[in-house]
Amino acid sequence: MSDGLEARLRAPLKERADFAEVLPGGWGSLPPVDLARNLVYLEQSGATPVGELFDLSGTPGGRIRFVGKLDRANRLAAGLSEGTVIVEGSVGNEAGLGMAGGILDIKGNAGIRAGAAPPGFKRGMLGGELIVRGSAGAEAGSYMRRGLLVVTGQAGDRAGLGMIAGTVVVGGATGSGAGLWSKRGSIVALGAISPPPTYAYACTYEPIHLRLLLRRLRGEYGLPLQRRHITGQYRRFSGDMAELGKGEILQWTGN
């Protein structure tokens, strides 16, 4: 099996850039020479082929690894529907915007609106798994319809804003307004969280499905989840009561 492609940034980006068209549908089978023709939109310099910014190598195999300082790269893996995208560092805003499948694994931080809905769209992530092994900015996973977003560090304000379904797991503290206006879906908070006033406490219990989910995240991605998280007790808050009230915040109790 191929290790896939590697995209190594030649020089740090000097301006913000839109990467939304770098990984279109079917990208997983593109050889480096073809992928190099896709365009990155630099904020001031305009459209630039990927090949001018990155050294591309490897053989296609549904997997790509981005190496370099990409914290000015916005919308990386936006609309992703297949394959595995690994970022060896931090990324800019709107990573995995509206992604529908595949895996986006960010080894550093993500900016605002990771896995959120594209502007003008009512639905954010439609599927796939977005892993942020650092912290994420505001509105991560907003309007998620399906899929999984994991932030091992802190999540900014309004994580899971307007969620329709799906799951957001936050390892560190979660900012204010988490799950506001959600219809369904789960926010799993392993760190501090203050559920919005439109969420109502239901009970403290052990959700068995979290055993499956957290064990899988530990096994599949090597995330630093402890036994006490996996077998722990969780406070369940139902909300948003201003909406359907079928969503939930599961707050780890610490034991």
Partner 1 sequence: MPPSRSDMRIREVFIEDTFAEAFTMRVARVIITAASSRWVRAASDKLTGFATSVIGCKVEAGVERELAAKETPDGRPGVSVLLMTMGKDDLGKRLIERVGQTVLTCPTTACYDGLPEAPDRLGVGSALRFFGDGFQSSKVIGGQRFWRIPVMEGEFLVQEQFGMLKGVGGGNFLILARSGDAALSAAEAAVDAMDTHPGVILPFPGGVVRSGSKVGSRRSKTMIASTNEAFCPTLRAVTQSALPEGVNSVLEIVINGTDGAAISGAMRAGIDAACRDGVVAISAGNYGGKLGPHHFHLRQIMAETVG
Contact positions toward partner 1, by CB under 8 A? 146, 167, 184, 186, 203, 205-209, 211-213, 215-216, 220, 230-231, 246
If the CB atoms of residues 10 and 209 are measured against partner 1, the closer one turns out to be: 209
Instruction: Kindly state the smallest distance separating residue 191's Cβ from partner 1, in Å.
Output: 21
Long-range contacts of range 91-97, CB-CB < 8 Å, 24 or more positions apart?
92/16, 92/17, 93/137, 95/130, 95/132, 96/125, 96/128, 96/130, 96/149, 97/20, 97/124
Tell me the C-alpha distance between 241 and 200, whole Å: 8
Tell me the C-alpha distance between 35 and 254, whole Å: 46
If the CB atoms of residues 69 and 218 are measured against partner 1, the closer one turns out to be: 218
Instruction: Kindly state the smallest distance separating residue 158's Cβ from partner 1, in Å.
Output: 22
If the CB atoms of residues 66 and 143 are measured against partner 1, the closer one turns out to be: 143
Instruction: Kindly state the smallest distance separating residue 200's Cβ from partner 1, in Å.
Output: 14
Residue in 115, 175, 193, 192 with CA at minimum distance from that of residue 148: 115
In this structure, which amino acid lies at residue 3?
Answer: D
242 DSSP 8-state letter: T
Non-local CB neighbours of 25 within 8 Å, separated by 6+ positions: 81, 82
Instruction: Kindly state the smallest distance separating residue 202's Cβ from partner 1, in Å.
Output: 10
The residue ranges of DSSP E strands in 89-165, in sequence order, are 103-106, 129-132, 148-151
If the CB atoms of residues 13 and 213 are measured against partner 1, the closer one turns out to be: 213
Determine which helix (DSSP H) or strand (DSSP E) holds 214, and give its type and residue range: helix 208-221
If the CB atoms of residues 52 and 220 are measured against partner 1, the closer one turns out to be: 220
Instruction: Kindly state the smallest distance separating residue 213's Cβ from partner 1, in Å.
Output: 5
Q: Which residue(s) pair with 7 in the sheet?
A: 56, 66
Instruction: Kindly state the smallest distance separating residue 167's Cβ from partner 1, in Å.
Output: 7
Two structure tokens written together for 197: 């006033």
